[in-house]
């Protein structure tokens, strides 16, 4: 009988977790734009306050902040479209190189597996015949997805405006949910979440721009065609830890091979990747991002996988900041502190080159803060 309350508590926790997952899955179209908007609103809030302190009306300050955000993403889109148009000009050359690679793969299959090129062509045609409407469905799905992205973008911008406008009321609502004696603690948690999210997102933005510069220089030096495009791609994909950098580098290698790149180019790309990762891990992250989101590698991977399963690619992008917010809440609630310890990363003693680089980074950061 003594185990009955414990069993009831365990079943209740599992039921709540299942309910949360069900809500996240079925409310996905509503929650994804709202979550993106909440994070971006926290990112833009310091700039909005700065404009307001300069005497600009709050509504105008919010609109200017949103326009700055839109301008930043428009600039990225413009740079990518320039590179894509440059790729389009070389379509015939790329098609020729792809054909050559295709014939080489065909010959390799013939040599290794004994399947003749004619039989390979026949197998491909049979596969295409088995799904006659596949191309049409892909085009329809792409257009529907594009329409959904445009709608979500407008929703995110509207949500950002409203969340910043009504931030005081939202904060007051959260504080009123707790008992009177716990209000200071609740206010501290809200402020910590806001500050850490701002620090993480602003640091991540600066790091991505730094990666664009480093990848751009590295890819240009080693002779990658359309180096700026692949630099921007690799930098943006770094938003998703572990998976993003490997995906960006793999795509760069594959496209370089398709465009006629040789072994030296591939080795150069790998060396560039290694150097950039070294600089990112030991200089950029301690200097720019710091320990804003201190999640251990195990739960970083678990969060990414769970985010992808529940919300797809947006879930992978949102997983790390949401885990960081969860950890802050758990750190400040005594009954949840074991969970904060579980997902957090224990501070390790630094030595050697890592200690030197981190110390140097902190010193440089203090110079800027003094200025």
Count Cβ atoms below 10 Å from residue 178 Cβ, excluding itself: 14
Of residues 167 and 145, more confidence is placed in: 167
Maximum CA pair distance of the chain? 79
Burial tier of 247 (Cβ tally within 10 Å: 0-12, 13-18, 19+):
middle
Q: Output the pLDDT for position 170.
A: 87
C-alpha to C-alpha distance for 326 and 23, rounded to whole angstroms: 17
Instruction: Give the tens place of pLDDT for each residue, 148-206.
Output: 678 888 899 999 999 999 988 888 888 888 888 888 888 888 888 888 888 878 888 88
Instruction: Give the tens place of pLDDT for each residue, 82-136.
Output: 777 766 666 666 666 666 666 666 666 666 666 666 665 666 555 555 544 444 4
* Full-model pTM: 0.73
User: Which of 78-87, 244-253, 286-295 has the least mean pLDDT?
Assistant: 286-295
C-alpha to C-alpha distance for 106 and 44, rounded to whole angstroms: 53
Count Cβ atoms below 10 Å from residue 110 Cβ, excluding itself: 14
Instruction: Give the tens place of pLDDT for each residue, 326-362.
Output: 888 888 777 778 888 888 876 555 544 455 555 555 5
With CA atoms as reference, report the closest residue to 124 among 102, 91, 98, 94.
102
With CA atoms as reference, report the closest residue to 249 among 220, 279, 219.
219
Tokens encoding 11: 């079943």
Average confidence score pLDDT of the chain:
77
Tokens encoding 324: 């960081």
């Amino acid at each position: 009988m003594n185990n009955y309350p414990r069993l009831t508590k365990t079943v209740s926790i599992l039921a709540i977790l299942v309910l949360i997952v069900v809500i996240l899955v079925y409310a996905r179209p509503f929650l994804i734009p709202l979550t993106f908007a909440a994070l971006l609103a926290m990112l833009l809030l310091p700039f909005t306050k700065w404009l307001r302190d300069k005497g600009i009306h709050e509504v105008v300050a919010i609109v200017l902040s949103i326009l700055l955000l839109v301008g930043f993403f428009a600039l990225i889109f413009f740079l990518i479209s320039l590179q894509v148009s440059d790729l389009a000009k070389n379509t015939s050359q790329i098609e020729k190189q792809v054909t050559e690679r295709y014939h080489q793969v065909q010959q390799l299959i013939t040599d290794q597996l004994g399947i003749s090129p004619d039989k390979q062509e026949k197998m491909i045609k049979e596969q295409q015949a088995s799904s006659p409407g596949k191309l049409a469905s892909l085009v329809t799905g792409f257009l529907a997805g594009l329409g959904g992205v445009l709608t979500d973008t407008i929703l995110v911008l509207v949500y950002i405006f409203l969340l910043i406008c009504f931030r005081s009321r939202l904060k007051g609502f959260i504080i009123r949910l707790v008992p009177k004696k716990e209000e200071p603690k609740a206010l501290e948690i809200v402020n910590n979440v806001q500050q850490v999210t701002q620090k993480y997102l602003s640091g991540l933005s600066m790091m991505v721009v730094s990666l664009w510069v480093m990848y751009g220089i590295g890819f240009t030096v080693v002779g990658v065609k359309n180096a700026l495009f692949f630099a921007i791609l690799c930098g943006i994909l770094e938003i998703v830890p572990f998976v993003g950098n490997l995906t960006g580098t793999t795509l760069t290698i594959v496209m370089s091979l398709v465009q006629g790149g040789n072994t030296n180019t591939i080795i150069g790309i790998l060396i560039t990747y290694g150097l950039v990762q070294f600089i990112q891990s030991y200089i950029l992250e301690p200097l720019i991002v710091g320990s804003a989101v201190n999640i251990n590698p195990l739960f970083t991977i678990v969060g990414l996988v769970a985010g992808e399963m529940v919300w797809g690619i947006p879930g992978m992008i949102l997983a790390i900041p949401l885990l960081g917010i969860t950890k802050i809440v758990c750190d400040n609630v005594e009954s949840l502190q074991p969970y904060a310890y579980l997902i957090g990363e224990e501070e390790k003693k630094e030595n050697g080159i890592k200690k030197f680089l981190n110390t140097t980074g902190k010193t440089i950061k203090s110079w800027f803060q003094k200025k």
